[in-house]
Amino acid sequence: MLKNTYKTYCALKAPKATYNQFAMDNAIDADWWQNRLRLLQLLGGSHGAASQYDTVQVLSRVSKFEVELVPEMIILDGRRGRHKEAIHLLVHVLGDFDTATSYCALGGLNLHGPQSEPQQEAVSAGEQQVILFGYLLDELLKIEDDGNRMTQTSELLLRYANCFDILHVLASVPDTWAVELISGFLERAFRNVVSERHETSVTKALLGLHNLNTSIGLIEKTESFRAVVTGSTAEAG
């Protein structure tokens, strides 16, 4: 029955609620179902003592049910920094594109509570977003249905153009796609590139002006210092 909920949800046409909302809205009056919802709430807790559980210990108890407990595995993968695996499950097993997008927008850290294990390499929030959205783009391009693949990919690129590496996008999108599918992304991306170049030019100009003012001040102080030394020498002579 639980596996069937994934198939049913995945078959729903967008726009649709997240899987967690779908599970709560379609809850059945059975102890195992209610216990499962409580488990999701516990694993996804982001505040207080409920968020401080031992991820490895929990994983050892639920991993044998990984096929049935997909959202739970997504949460645990996220807490362990296995973001690529979490995004794969969100896209291809649940078809929960909104949650996958939120996962990337939040840097993979806050959607289901804090990470219990540190990243191998520290990255800023912005850098993390670019990495995760890159994973999501790769997964969306693997969707089997052509229409759904194009729709999800083009919408994502348009909404979050600032979070993508333009070179990665151009290298990943199939050459057979019409330019119109990603024209919105390209327009915003190139506009950002031009804006960044302008900001860089202004910054360099301001730095040059600051350096010039500093140099002028230094010269004036040096000239003043030399005058004092010359006067002292003349008096001594």
pLDDT band for position 110 (50/70/90)?
Answer: very low
- The answer to whether 98 and 18 are in contact (CB under 8 A) is yes
Residue 48 tokens read as 């207080």
**Phi/psi class of residue 108: alpha, beta or left (left: φ > 0; alpha: ψ in -120 to 50)?**
left
Read off the pTM.
0.74
pLDDT at position 83 is: 94
Provide the β-strand partners of residue 111.
113
Angle between helix 125-140 and 97-105 (nearest 10): 160
pLDDT tens-digit map of 180-222? 888 888 888 777 666 555 455 545 555 654 555 565 556 666 6
Q: Report whether pLDDT(120) > 90.
A: no
pLDDT at position 234 is: 46
- Which has more pLDDT, 112 or 106? 106
pLDDT tens-digit map of 33-87? 999 999 888 888 765 555 678 888 999 999 899 999 999 999 999 988 999 999 9
Q: Residues 6 or more apart from 107 whose CB is under 8 A from it?
A: 125, 128, 129, 132
Domain ranges of the chain: 2-177, 179-237
pLDDT at position 211 is: 58
CA atoms within 13 A on the CB side of 209: 6
